[in-house]
Amino acid sequence: MDGVTVIDHPLVQHKLTLMRKKETSTASFRRLLREISTLLCYEVTRGLDLTTLAIETPLEPMDAPILEGKKLVFASILRAGNGLLEGMLDLVPAARVAHIGVYRDHETLMPVEYYFKAPEDLGNRLVIVVDPMLATGNSAIAAMDKLKERGAQNIRFLCLLAAPEGIERFRAAHPDIPVFTASIDSHLNEKGYIVPGLGDAGDRMYGTK
Ligand code: URA
C-alpha cells in the first residue's frame, strides 16, 4: 500500500501476538507495549538524515555520524498514545514531546479535541505522531490537521494496528504523511473496533475495564 510501511520484524510480530491475547494482564500488556514501541521507533526513524561531527576517539580524530537537524518531536494522541511514547523516549531521550487530547465520541465516532500542547517551532522539526490504533482514522486526521495548523510540515504517523478503512481515509486526508504500523488487520466492526485487533488499547494498558 502506497505510503504505508508494515513493520514485520519477527520480534515486533511476536510481541504483538502476546498483546492481542485476551488473557494478557494489564502489567504484561504495558510492558510489551513499551518494548514493542522501542522496536517501532527504530524503524520509524530509519532513514533520518545524518551529518558528521568532528570527535576524537582515544586513538585518533574522526568525523563521526550524528543526527542532523533539530530534535525530533514525538506527538502523543492521548490517552493511548502515551503507551507508545514511553518506549520511544527510552530510545530518543532528547526528543521533544507534544500532547494532543482527542477522544472519539462513542456515538458518532467523531473526534473531540480537548487538549493541545506542543513545542513552538514545529515547522523546523520532524514530528512523529503516535497512537496505537488507526481505526476510523478520525482522531489521527484531526491531530494532523491541528499539527499542520501549528506549522508542522514534516510528519510521520506510527501506530501498532491499522484497519484498512482507517488507512484509506487517513491517506486521502493526508497523502503527504507516511504511515508505519505493525499490522493491517481485517476490518472495523460496527462499533469502530479493529478486528481481530486487541480490544481497547487504552483500557488494556491502564486496566480501566
Ligand atoms: N481504539 C482502540 O483502542 N481499539 C480499537 O480497536 C479501535 C480504536
Ligand 1 centroid from CA 199, angstroms:
6
Q: The domain that contains 141 carries what CATH number?
A: 3.40.50.2020
Secondary element (H or E) of residue 11: helix 10-20
- Cell output for 93: 531521550
What residues act catalytically? Answer: 104, 108, 200, 203
CB atoms within 10 A of CB 81: 28
Nearest CA to ligand 1 atom 4: 200
Q: State how far the Cα of 131 lies from the Cα of 147, in Å rounded to an integer.
A: 14
Residues with CB under 6 A from ligand 1: 80, 133, 135, 192-194, 197, 200-202
Q: Could you read off the pLDDT of 36-51 as tens digits, one per residue?
A: 999 999 999 998 999 9
pLDDT tens per residue, range 131-157? 999 999 999 999 999 999 999 999 999
High-pLDDT (> 90) share of the chain, % = 91
pLDDT band with cut points at 50, 70 and 90 for residue 114? very high
Q: What is the pTM of this model?
A: 0.94
Mutation test residue for ligand 1: of 77, 200, 204, 206, the one with most atoms within 8 Å of CB: 200
Output the pLDDT for position 192.
Answer: 92
pLDDT tens-place string over residues 19-78: 999 999 999 999 999 999 999 999 999 989 999 999 999 999 999 999 998 999 999 999
Which numbered atom of ligand 1 lies nearest the CA of 198? Answer: 6
Q: What is the DSSP letter of 20?
A: H
Q: pLDDT at position 127, please?
A: 98
The C-alpha cell of 91 is what?
Answer: 530510545
pLDDT at 109: 72
Atom of ligand 1 nearest to the CA of 193: 6
Domain that holds residue 151: 4-206
DSSP letters for 147-208: HHHTT--EEEEE-SEE-HHHHHHHHHH-TTS-EEESEE-SEE-TTS-EESS-S-HHHHHHT-
The span from the CA of 160 to the CA of 194, in Å, is 11
Q: Quick count: other Cβ atoms within 10 Å of Cβ 136?
A: 20
Cβ(161)–Cβ(185) under 8 Å? Answer: yes
Q: How many domains does the chain have?
A: 1
For residue 108, what pLDDT is reported?
A: 82
Closest C-alpha to ligand 1, atom 3: 200
Per DSSP, the three-state class of 128 is strand
